[in-house]
Structure 1
């Protein structure tokens, strides 16, 4: 599946309509972004069941701001509308492949339960 260009207009819909999305936050002037681009593209060709999306941080400043992107490239993985990974840095192909495998293996019910527990603990600490 070819990569999808995300904008503020299609971002929410893309995440709503797809259970597994890899997002590459990038910019044209960024050397590491250009190095990571073919790795990301190869992953999109290999994992056709996963939406591979790109956000041009120069053209989509609102999205970059909303997700607090401070370094690029930043890779974000969203499963079932839950961000499970969000880290800056260009990954080599083997590392990206390992990350995809780990993301596939996650039990999302367990992830949501942990998030709920952390939210409850944080709320208790504030009271």
Structure 2
């Protein structure tokens, strides 16, 4: 296998993690979401709250996720992957929300999360992450 094929396989695996985030969010599956993080992960929420460690991320997610997606369908699209090392990647994501009928929900704006992922025991894990809203155009 050449380096390009190998790299594409890693990108596909990273895209799978992001698709699992989308699935967990859409279906309000707290445990599925939390399982994607390293034990010592860092998460900064869209509102700027710093969470350190999987336990803190789980406690926060258990408070905010149930009921949050009742009328929404989230969409997470990988827009760029930068391999810092072969086992560490910075992943830029486009985050949007839609109604259950498939219409864009524009009043929530878009998110532009940055996920730093590390490959642990053959599995890509969320390691250091920041969820950020897209700034309004001037």
Higher relative contact order at CA 8 Å, sep ≥6: structure 1 or structure 2? 1
Q: Which has the higher strand share?
A: 2
Q: Normalization by structure 2: what TM-score?
A: 0.27
Q: Normalization by structure 1: what TM-score?
A: 0.28
